[in-house]
């Protein structure tokens, strides 16, 4: 009887080892897939935050550009420049005040 139990243990042991090995392989594959999925989700979330920050920066830059364009139009207004010139004592040049300079020596 002892012999039969020993032989059965020897036969059952490799099957149990195979089952445990298969379970470990499946568990490690499932774990790898889970880690990969989590890392991808983390990367997607990080890129989403970067995109949001870039959109905010673009909005701020557009607003700054709009303000600078308004300021440029105000500062280059011919009526304003003429008024400032009069305050500084400048006057319009007459045709006699204009001199032509030759570019070729």
Other Cβ atoms less than 10 A from the Cβ of 6: the count is 10
pLDDT-derived band of residue 8, with 50, 70 and 90 as boundaries?
low
DSSP sequence for 23-80: HHHHHHHHHHHHHHHHHHHHHHHHHHHHHHHHHHHHHHHHHHHHHHHHHHHHHT-HHH
Six token digits for residue 9:
């243990």
Domain tally for the chain? 1
Question: Is 93 domain-assigned?
Answer: no
Question: Is 47 domain-assigned?
Answer: yes
How many residues does the structure list for the chain?
Answer: 105
Q: Give, as one character, the DSSP assignment of residue 103.
A: S
48: containing domain: 7-86
Question: Is 99 domain-assigned?
Answer: no
Distance of CA 86 to the CA centre of its chain: 51
Six token digits for residue 104:
């070729």
Give pTM, 2 decimals: 0.55
DSSP sequence for 20-35: HHHHHHHHHHHHHHHH
Question: Is 68 domain-assigned?
Answer: yes
pLDDT tens profile 29-76: 999 999 999 999 999 999 999 999 999 999 999 999 999 999 999 999
Share of the chain above pLDDT 70, in %: 88
The pLDDT of residue 1 is 46
């Amino acid at each position: 009887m002892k012999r039969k139990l020993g032989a059965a243990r020897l036969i059952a042991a490799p099957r149990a080892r195979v089952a445990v090995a298969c379970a470990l392989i499946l568990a490690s594959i499932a774990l790898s897939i889970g880690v990969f999925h989590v890392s991808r989700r983390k990367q997607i979330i990080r890129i989403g935050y970067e995109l949001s920050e870039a959109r905010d920066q673009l909005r701020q830059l557009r607003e700054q550009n709009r303000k600078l364009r308004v300021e440029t139009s105000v500062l280059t207004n011919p009526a304003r420049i003429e008024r400032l010139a009069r305050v500084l004592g400048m006057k319009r040049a007459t045709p006699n005040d204009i001199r032509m300079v030759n570019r070729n020596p």
